[in-house]
Structure 1
Amino acid sequence: MESIAKQLITLAVRAPSGHNTQPWQFSVEQDTVRIYPDLSRRLPVVDPDDHALFISLGCALENLVIAAAHQGLAAGVDYFPSDEPEECLRVRLSEDADEETDALFQAIPERQSNRGTYDGRAIDDSDLARLMDAHFRDSVKVRAFRVGHPDIEPIIGFVREGNIAQFNDPAFVAELVSWIRFTRREVSDRQDGLAAVALGFPAVPRWLGRWIMTTLVRPEGEAARQEKAIRSSSLLLLFIARGNDKQHWVDVGRSFERIALTATSLGIAHAHVNMPCEVAPIRRRLAVHLGLDDGEQPLLLIRLGHVRKRLPTSPRRPVERVMREP
């Protein structure tokens, strides 16, 4: 079982994470996999309470659960069990999975965040229904906003405000720059972060990339670029946690990953436009605008649509670099 568990981790690490920080570690002991938060990879500016970090752990967990089912294994999940010496998600593997996950499993290595401009084609109602059906956790709500419908305009406005607030913050820009890999050598050496080519930039020396990001990239221009990207898309999906704690954050990640993998299986691209969820005052105003109940938090916003070409996939660290002794 241990060898199978290690194979599952090679798919778990294909999960998305903020700035592609890959903030996870794993251990394997007989039939048990533990997923630990790697706080050395947190983003203190954009994610000061670490909710996005735990959303990323949820994505990795869901990949592991799906891959286990594909191997005929059921995965029982314990959230942060009190009998563990360290905070972790504990997954116990056993025989006789009862879920068909082939399409989701096949999508794991294909899924990517495509930050390019989409082609504007609408998502079919049948495909939208499949996307919404992929969401299955009672602790999370998902709201859809179609591009072209009046309901989306205030959401685009919140994205614009979030963009401007973030790019007016030198600490945000510095943190973002620290995770951009401007050259192919940086991508190869680090195997994490945001490859410049995936952001639409040419490969340039780090000093030049830093100068471009701090001098030429302006808040209003970035906001306009993101608005153009949204209007080229078909749909926005907003993930709302029904509570504001780590278990709810993990469940947001699990729900998001199911939908992202379903989208991939349908040939639909996705990318984060999470700015209004990352700036706390704007997130609170967004919750009021949506009439959310007390305690509900809008934590993740993505756009979906069709693309004519894939972008290069983001790098991942090899499994041996995220493994620890049990």
Structure 2
Amino acid sequence: MPTRRTVLEVLIGGGALAIGGCASGSGPDPAAAWRNPGAGERDPRRWALAHAILAPNPHNRQPWLVDLPGTDEIVFYADTTRLLPATDPPNRQITLGCGAFLELLDLAARERGLRADITLWPQGEPQPVLDARPVAHVRLAADGAVKPDPLFRQITARHTSREAYDLSSPPAAADLARVVAVAPSPLTAAAVADKAGVARLIDIGARGFAREMTTADAAQESARLTRIGPAEIARHRDGIALKGPFLEGMAAIGLLTRETMGDPNSFATRSAIDMFAKTIAATPAFVWLKGPDNSRATQIASGRAYARMHLTATALGLSMQPWSMTLQEFPEMAELYRETQAALGASPRAPLQMLVRIGKAKPVEPAPRRGLAQHIRA
């Protein structure tokens, strides 16, 4: 779940530019999916899927496709046209987003008294990259033993906040403990709240952002997925949403282009790196998550656990933002990837799956969503 939405904040000193939320404009409403999801749906599968598409996912690619055979089945695929080959070459982070999707699907099914029987990788686990084989087969069955999960109520309230967090009011230790406690065994989750540990991760993360922004392929991938202004945001309803009067004015007169955003040596990129360092310094704590290995099954489980952690944080009035840059596995990030793993006691065989900043922040708008129809295969 990317932090590149801050890329052009520096152009107005962090004040007049709003980043990452929805906007009004011509075309479909990019926030419509967040309001009363599933309203009017009679098929419980479609109702549950309307909640699942609100899951967090990297670069807001929403890489989810489903078939609906029969009356109670869902066959779930990763959309291979929506991968991130430059920043996520092994598709690990996309797989995490698929896990988050399955967790929200399960929560929604429970709300209707349904048990979601999920079989992962029914045609085999794809390696080294995702392919056309399904991620999961899901069957929904009525089950009187199934109880609603309180976290369901947080699905439409959960949003990723890339704002500066309040350093004067850090998360309580008890709240951090509640967030990490929802990760099930054999996953391991923990919080970092001591000053030295937080400072070390801030330093590594700031260097990681700079490395990503000065790596041509990675920077250009983000630039291609940037949606500038309400009209583009409404037309695409995915990717990196940038809006605000100043930004839109710059784009209108040609001073802001995808070419300059994707240029590692541009003034905008250098300024963004400086501004980002200031924003990330306003981080009071981190949480992290890892599993016993790096299998696709562990990646799915980690995505599901992260979704529960974020929903729990939302219920506690806390904000979260995945800190994905130095966990990316492209060659130019390798040194910082190793440094991050070592800092938190992870290993190549059992690497970190998630590193997330956490704290209190002002409310943010929901990220755009494409709507349920775009995820169901004909």
Same fold (TM over 0.5): yes
Show the counterpart of 1:129: 177
Show the counterpart of 1:312: 365
How has the CA–CA distance of structure 1 residues 73 and 218 changed in structure 2, closer, same or farther, with 3 Å as cutoff? same
Tell me if structure 2 keeps the 8 A contact 1:81–1:89: yes
Find the partner of 1:185 among 231, 244, 249. Answer: 231
The CA distance in 2 between the partners of 1:108 and 1:317, in whole Å, is: 17
Mapped pair 1:103 → 2:150: yes
For structure 1, which runs of at least 5 residues remain unmatched after alignment? Answer: none
The CA distance in 2 between the partners of 1:160 and 1:306, in whole Å, is: 20
Tell me if structure 2 keeps the 8 A contact 1:24–1:38: yes
1:294 Cα deviation after fit: 5.1
Show the counterpart of 2:339: 285
Tell me if structure 1 keeps the 8 A contact 2:198–2:284: no
- What letter is aligned with 2:160? S
Mapped pair 1:18 → 2:82: no
- What letter is aligned with 2:368? P
Show the counterpart of 2:47: 7
How has the CA–CA distance of structure 1 residues 261 and 247 changed in structure 2, closer, same or farther, with 3 Å as cutoff? same
- What letter is aligned with 1:22? Q
Shifted more, 93-102 versus 257-266: the winner is 93-102
The CA distance in 2 between the partners of 1:196 and 1:255, in whole Å, is: 29
1:318 Cα deviation after fit: 1.4
Q: Which aligned pairs between 1:1-326 and structure 2 lie closer than 5 A?
A: 3-29=43-69, 30-82=71-123, 86-96=133-143, 98=145, 100-120=147-167, 121-138=169-186, 140-146=187-193, 148-197=194-243, 202-204=247-249, 205=251, 208-210=256-258, 213=261, 214=263, 215-219=266-270, 221-278=271-328, 279-293=333-347, 295-308=349-362, 310-325=363-378
| Structure ranking higher on relative contact order (CA contacts 8 Å, 6+ apart) | 2
Tell me if structure 1 keeps the 8 A contact 2:166–2:282: yes
The CA distance in 2 between the partners of 1:97 and 1:300, in whole Å, is: 35
The CA distance in 2 between the partners of 1:115 and 1:276, in whole Å, is: 16
How has the CA–CA distance of structure 1 residues 218 and 156 changed in structure 2, closer, same or farther, with 3 Å as cutoff? same
Aligned alpha-carbon RMSD (Å): 2.5
How has the CA–CA distance of structure 1 residues 83 and 286 changed in structure 2, closer, same or farther, with 3 Å as cutoff? closer
1:209 Cα deviation after fit: 4.1
Partner of 1:250, secondary structure, is: helix
Tell me if structure 2 keeps the 8 A contact 1:80–1:88: yes
1:275 Cα deviation after fit: 1.2
Tell me if structure 2 keeps the 8 A contact 1:12–1:64: yes
Partner of 2:247, secondary structure, is: coil
- Normalising by structure 1, we get a TM-score of 0.90
1:137 Cα deviation after fit: 4.0
- What letter is aligned with 2:164? T
Identity of aligned residues (%): 25
1:129 Cα deviation after fit: 2.2
Partner of 1:217, secondary structure, is: helix
Tell me if structure 2 keeps the 8 A contact 1:163–1:222: no
The CA distance in 1 between the partners of 2:150 and 2:257, in whole Å, is: 39
The CA distance in 1 between the partners of 2:231 and 2:203, in whole Å, is: 38
Partner of 1:151, secondary structure, is: helix
Partner of 2:189, secondary structure, is: strand
The CA distance in 1 between the partners of 2:135 and 2:142, in whole Å, is: 23
Partner of 1:60, secondary structure, is: helix
1:300 Cα deviation after fit: 1.9
Shifted more, 231-240 versus 247-256: the winner is 231-240
1:211 Cα deviation after fit: 5.5
- What letter is aligned with 1:38? D
Shifted more, 129-138 versus 185-194: the winner is 129-138
1:255 Cα deviation after fit: 0.7
1:8 Cα deviation after fit: 0.5
For structure 2, which runs of at least 5 residues remain unmatched after alignment? Answer: 1-40, 126-131
1:119 Cα deviation after fit: 1.9
1:203 Cα deviation after fit: 3.4
Partner of 1:238, secondary structure, is: strand
1:152 Cα deviation after fit: 2.1
- How many residues in Structure 1 have an aligned counterpart in Structure 2? 320
The CA distance in 2 between the partners of 1:143 and 1:132, in whole Å, is: 6
How has the CA–CA distance of structure 1 residues 101 and 284 changed in structure 2, closer, same or farther, with 3 Å as cutoff? farther
How has the CA–CA distance of structure 1 residues 74 and 283 changed in structure 2, closer, same or farther, with 3 Å as cutoff? same
Shifted more, 293-302 versus 96-105: the winner is 96-105
